[in-house]
Structure 1
Amino acid sequence: MGIPVIFLFLYYVACLAAASPNIPAVIVFGDSTVDTGNNNQVGTILRSNFRPYGRDFFGGRPTGRFCNGRLAPDFISQALGLPPLVPAYLDPEYSIEDFAKGVCFASAGTGLDNATSDVLSVIPLWKEVEYFKEYRRRLQRYAGKAEAMRIVGEAVYIISIGTNDFLENYYLLVTGRFLQFTVEEYQDFLIDRAEEFLRAIYWLGARKISFTGLGAIGCVPLERTTNALAGGGCVEQYNKAARGFNVKLQELIGRLCATLPGLRLRYAPVYDGLLHIIANPSSYGIENVDRGCCATGRFEMGYLCDELSPFTCPDASKYVFWDSFHPTEKVNWLMAKTTLETSLAEFI
């Protein structure tokens, strides 16, 4: 991330800190958009704990974040007056003392559909909930029951999930979901899974929740590459699926808030924000919107994105995407800002 964005972010943090109540922790569930390193500890090939991932992170250190630097939850945590990093729950470098101020259960490659996590042998969403239960028990032993319940009840929850269900599952025909469901039926199936998940964490104490809608998934470089015969533009079929899912997600949020006492579940709208960046890159100091910074930026991610490529760009802040699938640190900061100004605004 370039120097101007750092200054803007520090100014933004200062403004929020002056008005924010005491939020004790940021708790994260989801996929690679928010995984801060859990996949380093599981038996999967879907990892990013090597350079050039993390080259713009503190100390240039790869952590397992699928990015050149920090992710949106890291920026959100810092903006709320908490540590500048949200630690991965499975990272042995961190303890319950660290997790009391923020913890990430997310796993790159997972989805709302359990079959999605099987594709690359990552942590399914139900297991993330089990880790949350374990975390609550550890927190009670560390801080006492009353304080632990306060932290769980007053924390803000960041949920970002669903992209892999479509791009690594449904549209790739890996699990047969394409044969089982129409797109609309699969959206409904995923919404049912989202409801089960949200009810589970609600009964475990979660109240202040931001659920990130799907972005313009048809515009990630990998999908543009596969769309080369049509000119390499965004795949509208995939974007339409994302928009339909987002509408149904917002309807679910309304139903749950009407039936679960005390629930403050809010929708984080990233779809339009991402499209605005792609359509108006110069407004953000961005020059490239259709390929990633790492390697050729057209199909590489994970182990295909490594330091041996001579094509990796020198300045990721001029790109929307870091690899063929994931945003740069700069765009993660912009998405964090959107979340703070929308779904998290009432908690600040």
Structure 2
Amino acid sequence: MFSRRWHHCPLLLVVHLLISSSTATAGKVPAIIVFGDSTVDAGNNNFIPTVAKSNFPPYGRDFDGGIATGRFSNGRLVTDLLSEAFGLSSSVPAYLDTSYTMDELAAGVSFASGGTGLDDLTAEIPSVISLRQQLEYFMEYKEKLKTAKGESLANEIIAEALYIFSIGTNDFIVNYFVLPIRPAQYAAPEYVTYLIGLADEAIRDLYDLGGRKIVFSGLAPFGCIPSARTLNHDEPGECNEEYNQLARKFNAELQQTLRKLNDDLDGAQLVYSETYGPVASIVANPSEYGFENVEQGCCGTGLIETSVLCGFDQAFTCQDANKYVFFDSVHPSERTYKIVANEILNKALRVFL
């Protein structure tokens, strides 16, 4: 069926706002349903043959019970924090984890897969779950939900659920700037437009499947992640401004597309979720947010390690991840995610409160 288609806020205040919002919004959104990449993968990659995994220490060391669930961070992700704020579970389950019941998945589920992208080719590189496949899993989920809850309640959950997309960075850092295929077909700005077309088609597909409340996250300044700084040959250790410029272009075109889709799709509520500004503010002023290190990840040397490489360098992993903006060389720490989640909750998601 598918076509080819921040602001300055102390941590304690962030947590307080999230907890307070949980009481205020409980019941208004029956489920949070997630599509995307490693920023929102709750452990789906644990169950597929790929090297893009994080189900081992030091990942998850600050998660409840110190469990490495397959989340690419030391603790919870933005979607987990938002789920709790909406009065739902404190963490969003991974769809492929069969230890969860349909009753649990009915209140939230993540189809996301670390390493994937909007472009199918991006998912093929590390052999992970493409966005197309994630939407097919959602079709399967809908049928299971009807069996478990009855058609009427299942349809209500699907219609009222909050759908979150967080995807796009890997299309650049895993695909476009690594392999020769897409650069031979598209100049970088043209590739951005190609990706936005795929985002448009994915949203339309989800709408056809019953999704109405849809949030699509913009890209963070991925030119400032530690690995991008390390590999910045022109200015070693500095943010890669070419990458950040593409992130800003992607975000601008995404916002235009969401505005058009709001006009085109009857009954849909499509919202852009800003992440570039909050992360850029933290990167520019880390001490104002209580961070001590923005240039390195907590894991290993902090320069290049992510996924399996983090497991090799545990002896060098930092003692306190709360002092680090990034947990590994690509992914934010839980503390950074808390700041971003607060920003999203109090701005982008206000329409759903």
TM-score (norm 1): 0.96
How far residue 284 of structure 1 moved from its aligned partner, in angstroms, is 1.1
SS at match of 1:262: coil
1:94 aligns with 2:107: no
1:103 aligns with 2:109: yes
Q: Which runs of 5+ in 1 are unaligned?
A: none
How far residue 6 of structure 1 moved from its aligned partner, in angstroms, is 6.1
How do residues 114-193 of structure 1 correspond to structure 2 at under 5 angstroms?
Answer: 114-172=120-178, 174=179, 176-193=181-198
How many residues align structurally? 344
Output the amino acid matched with 1:43. P
How far residue 336 of structure 1 moved from its aligned partner, in angstroms, is 1.1
SS at match of 1:159: strand
Question: Contact (CA 8 Å) 1:13, 1:80: kept in 2 or not?
Answer: no
How far residue 11 of structure 1 moved from its aligned partner, in angstroms, is 4.8
1:292 corresponds to: 297
1:223 corresponds to: 228
Distance 2:25 2:63 in 1: 28
How far residue 231 of structure 1 moved from its aligned partner, in angstroms, is 3.7
Distance 1:6 1:235 in 2: 32
How far residue 309 of structure 1 moved from its aligned partner, in angstroms, is 3.3
Distance 1:94 1:189 in 2: 36
SS at match of 2:297: coil
**Deviating more after overlay: 338-347 vs 97-106:** 338-347
1:60 corresponds to: 66
1:253 aligns with 2:284: no
SS at match of 1:253: helix
SS at match of 1:157: strand
Deviations 1:59-103 (A, max 9, x none): 100000000000000000000000101000001211211110000
2:24 corresponds to: 18
Question: Contact (CA 8 Å) 2:299, 2:313: kept in 1 or not?
Answer: no
Deviations 1:45-70 (A, max 9, x none): 00000001000000100000000000
How do residues 28-47 of structure 1 correspond to structure 2 at under 5 angstroms?
Answer: 28-47=34-53
Distance 1:84 1:18 in 2: 16
Output the amino acid matched with 2:326. F
Distance 2:22 2:321 in 1: 27
Q: Which runs of 5+ in 2 are unaligned?
A: 1-9
Percent pairwise identity:
48
Question: Contact (CA 8 Å) 2:58, 2:314: kept in 1 or not?
Answer: no
How far residue 165 of structure 1 moved from its aligned partner, in angstroms, is 0.3
CA 1:310–1:228: 2 relative to 1, 3 Å: farther
- After superposition, the CA RMSD in angstroms is 1.4
How do residues 300-315 of structure 1 correspond to structure 2 at under 5 angstroms?
Answer: 300-306=305-311, 308-315=313-320
1:203 aligns with 2:208: yes
Question: Contact (CA 8 Å) 1:52, 1:307: kept in 2 or not?
Answer: no
Q: 4+ residue stretches of structure 1 with deviation over 2 A?
A: 4-8, 18-22, 307-310
Output the amino acid matched with 1:84. S
How far residue 10 of structure 1 moved from its aligned partner, in angstroms, is 4.3
Distance 1:253 1:20 in 2: 27
CA 1:111–1:126: 2 relative to 1, 3 Å: same
2:5 corresponds to: none
Question: Contact (CA 8 Å) 1:116, 1:168: kept in 2 or not?
Answer: yes
SS at match of 1:267: strand
How far residue 306 of structure 1 moved from its aligned partner, in angstroms, is 1.5
Output the amino acid matched with 1:149. N
How far residue 9 of structure 1 moved from its aligned partner, in angstroms, is 1.2
Output the amino acid matched with 2:43. G
1:272 aligns with 2:272: no
How far residue 310 of structure 1 moved from its aligned partner, in angstroms, is 2.4
Question: Contact (CA 8 Å) 2:41, 2:110: kept in 1 or not?
Answer: yes
Distance 1:175 1:150 in 2: 45
Distance 2:91 2:12 in 1: 15
CA 1:8–1:112: 2 relative to 1, 3 Å: closer
TM-score (norm 2): 0.95
How far residue 146 of structure 1 moved from its aligned partner, in angstroms, is 1.0
